[in-house]
Chains A and B, each alone.
Chain A
Amino acid sequence: MTATLVYGLAGSVLVGVGLYGFAVRRHLLRQILAFNIIGSGLFLLFGALARRTPDGTSDPVPQAMIITGIVVAFAATALAEALAERYQELTGRTALEEDSKPAPPDEQESELRG
């Protein structure tokens, strides 16, 4: 078993674990964590792909993708955390409600505008 295969398989397992958590858990923080576990697995997978060159040197393109991917995942996590925190402050909830009906508009809006 080569090192590349170990990394590839480990990455795949992480993606699987993360997808399971993402689908099953309802707590918002757990879902955000699950997304990050999927991301870590994916980056490991990309890293393993970079090693698969015939002469054994590393392919720089997947490595560039990993760095970009980490930045994107970081931004998404920060936004999700901020939204989840504010949501918890306002409602006391840590999970979304099951039904998703469009909410009524802000009736104060036009009053505020006078």
Chain B
Amino acid sequence: MAEPGLLVALPLAACLAAVFLGRRGALLVWVTGPLMLVLTWQLARAIPVVEPLGGWAPPLGIALRADGFAAAFLVMTALVAAVVGAYAATYFAADPRPRRAAAFWPLFYAVWTAVNLILLGRDLFNLYVGLELLTLAGVAMVALDGRAATLAAALRYLLFALFGSVTFLIGAALLYGRYATLDMELLAVALAPDTATVAAAALISVGLLAKAAIFPFHAWLPPAHAGAPAPASALLSALVVKASVLILFRLWFDVLPPLAGALLNALMGGLGAMAVLYGSVQAIRQDRLKPIVAYSTVAQLGYLLLAFPLAGAALGAQPWSAGAWTGAVFHALSHGLAKAAMFLAAGTIMLAAGTDRLDRLGGVAKAVPVASFAFVIAAVSLMGLPPSGGFLAKYLLLTYAFAAQQAGWAAVMVVGGLLAAVYLARPVNALMRAAPAEGARFARVPAVLQLAPLLLALAAMLLGILSFEPYRLIQVNNPAAAHEGLQ
């Protein structure tokens, strides 16, 4: 049984149930987590799968389609959500503010529903609905604390996201007016490079970049992701922003290759490079743990856009087809696992130390050794050191950059890797410092809060060690443009 519709319906049902269960909604995750892992695993073994909802085929109906790209992210999402859910169940169990704990669970399942819908949907309006559900749930998660600073962060996030929504929708209206369908497969067949289509492509892309916090639309992300409670930060950084980038990939590699060219590649690559450099430098300048991790998300999202100039470069010069595209997909998967691990570890460290200021964290590795170890493992993957999934991603992207003699993009990746080593070395150093700061007292934290981040960090590491199966999975029904590039 591998029905894509079930992967959307199940978390949606859990979302509705959680509204009524309140704090007891925490118990649901022990059912939904394992169940979704099994269902996504079955789907990954059955792909490619197409399900026209209600038996109506596009353009009248909406079809859910699962290819390798979707399946890989569905499994990653299920793993991240299940572990974050288990973490949150413990994290919020001791929460002194019961309303916050109760409000988290419907939002948690709304995010899960929306991400799965976005991964399976191929209708631009359906994707718009998914993006809106994701945005509204994400914004509410940022505002969970209800303090003035986090409300401001949530509002800023919402304003950027609403701007992205309307530009996306204007583009979708133009496409519907031109082609009378919003189904991606039908659009790809009918596509003509005329003015309306180019304008629509530009508007939709700008909307997605704003929602994904890609430079220069990044300003909302660090305060929002740093201010949310730890389990919410993990979901936001690992899944929510990435969903918009994945739609951007689908759009350009599946539907719009005839419009692509050197200008698009230079533009996307340029934005990606700016994100990598700006995010990394800002991360170095922070003196608290969560803002460092949040700025690192700005930087890491930039690498994904480097797939635009590098895909298909040096065609035939490499043993692997679609290597740069696959590298970017691997990067998104490993970043999802490692970043979720890092935010969960940061949350545990904050609970133990009572603060996330780097100069107050000395000795915390003795109080929460497993969470600190998880932070270090996740950092290894983010820096792109072997044998992590992050290493494999950067290796694929770098090999392609060198084979195509695109030394500029390669330099961005190398410098980005070095800067990542710098901004992650500071928190690692602070954690491992033996002497506690004066007057520092460490609270005891439950074991689950230490084990959950370790599990995700190890998964990021295993993605590199056992890379054969994920690699094979990603290639199922991958787009032709992933091989030939966007020329």
Contact = CB atoms under 8 A, between A and B. Distances in A.
Do A and B pair up? The answer is yes
Given A42-B173, A52-B177, A100-B156, A113 B443 contact: yes
B355 interface: yes
Given A83-B143, A107-B354, A102 B158 contact: no
Nearest to A114: B443
A100 B132 contact: no
Contacts of A49: 173, 176-177
Interface string A55-78: 000010110010011001001100
Nearest to A45: B173
Contact of A42 (B170, B180, B219): B170
Interface residues of B, number: 57
Given A49-B173, A49-B176, A76 B165 contact: yes
Contact of B151 (A42, A68, A86, A113): A86
Query: Helix, strand, loop or mixed for chain A's interface?
Result: helix
Contacts of A52: 177
Interface string A38-52: 110010011001001
A83 B354 contact: no
A39 B222 CA distance: 28
Q: Is the interface of B mostly helix, strand, loop or mixed?
A: helix
Contact of A76 (B136, B143, B226, B294): B136
Contacts of A90: 147-148, 151
B145 interface: yes
Interface residues of A, number: 47
A110 to B, nearest CB: 4
A35 B145 contact: no
Contacts of B176: 46, 49, 61-62, 65
Given A42-B170, A62-B176, A103 B158 contact: no
Interface in A89-114: 90-91, 96-97, 100-107, 109-114
Interface string A77-90: 00110011011001
Given A102-B291, A105-B355, A80 B158 contact: yes
22 contacts: A15-B166, A42-B166, A42-B170, A45-B170, A49-B173, A49-B176, A59-B180, A61-B59, A68-B125, A68-B129, A76-B162, A80-B158, A96-B155, A100-B152, A102-B153, A102-B288, A102-B291, A103-B149, A104-B149, A105-B356, A107-B355, A113-B351
Interface of B: 59-60, 94-97, 125, 128-129, 132, 135-136, 139-140, 143, 145-156, 158-159, 162-163, 165-166, 169-170, 173, 176-177, 180, 219-220, 222-223, 226-227, 286, 288, 290-291, 294, 350-351, 353-356, 443
